[in-house]
Structure 1
Amino acid sequence: MSTLKFCRDCNNILYPKEDKERKILLYACGICSHQEEADDNIVYRYEINHSVGDNSHVLHDIAADHTLPRTKSVRCSVCNHPEAVFFKANPEGEEGMALYFVCCNPSCGHRWRD
């Protein structure tokens, strides 16, 4: 699990930073020059611990979740908005995986399954 990291020199928070040359993740202090290599490549993790068949866990603002991928290859059947977030999950009581979409229009929020 990813936790906050603090600078060993000045106790300020360390922020994720990419070392493009070495292709690794670093944590760097914004105040002093301290940097350290990350233990893993996870910067942020969002876990949903509900069954997919139960729509109560699909919050109205899920379209604002930047951890979910987005697509412009589908249109909402309710408002015709051209963007949706999507995720794969195993439907309750069924075999295999299903693709779920949520409309990115804040006033719509329509959910559907492919």
Structure 2
Amino acid sequence: MSSMKFCPECNNILYPREDIERKILLYACRNCEHEEKATHNCVYRQVYSHGTMERSQYLQEVASDPTLPRTKSVRCPSCDHGEAVFFQLNSNSRNDGMTLYFVCCNPNCGHKWRDDH
């Protein structure tokens, strides 16, 4: 099992990132420009399984989860904040497959939405 990696420049968590052109796995800091090549190509993930009632409570807490990926390429439809965490959940319908969900990182908002594309 791999331990968490921290940036040697600013001490923030390093997150896995794929370099598609060079076809390698990197660990990158989201706070500064530091990147380093991964020593192994195995990335672990946490899988959550919740019922419908638990899901709404779970969604309210995900914005503070440091293990979830974040993006600045979407804007919150509720408050126009420019950062959100995102994750995928299996749809209840067999035809819908996976659905991408976003949660606004603005602590005063926490709006949840899904990507319907």
TM-score, scaled relative to structure 2? 0.55
Q: Which residue of 1 aligns with 2:91?
A: 91
d(CA) in 1 for partners of 2:114, 2:89: 10
Give the number of equivalent residue pairs.
84
Q: What is the deviation of 1:21? A: 9.6
Q: Equivalents in 1 of 2:77, 2:5: separation in Å?
A: 40
What secondary structure is seen at the aligned counterpart in 2 of 1:98? strand
C-alpha separation in 2, matches of 1:113 and 1:47: 18
Instruction: Quote the residue 1:56 is aligned against.
Output: 56
> SS state of the match for residue 100, structure 1?
strand
Q: Deviation of residue 23 (structure 1)?
A: 2.4
1:23 aligned onto 2:39: yes
CA contact (8 A) 2:59 2:112 kept: no
Of the structure 1 ranges 95-104 and 48-57, higher mean CA displacement relative to structure 2 is found in 48-57
- The answer on whether the counterparts of 1:72 and 1:82 sit within 8 Å (CA) in structure 2 is yes
2:37 and 2:56 mapped to 1: Cα distance? 44
CA RMSD of aligned residues (A): 3.4
Instruction: Give the aligned partner of residue 69 of structure 2.
Output: 69
Structure 1 regions of 5+ residues with no counterpart? 3-14, 25-39
Distance 1:22 1:73 in 2: 25
Counterpart of 1:28 in structure 2 is none
1:59 Cα shift?
3.8
Aligned equivalents of 2:69 and 2:47: distance in 1?
Answer: 14
Cross-structure match for 1:110: 111
8 Å contact from structure 2 (residues 59, 103) kept in 1:
no
User: TM-score, length-normalised on structure 1?
Assistant: 0.56
Structure of higher RCO (CA pairs closer than 8 Å, 6+ residues apart): 1
Q: For 1:35-71, what per-residue CA distance to the aligned partner results, in whole angstroms no more than 9, with x for missing partners?
A: xxxxx865xx533111579633424221010111110
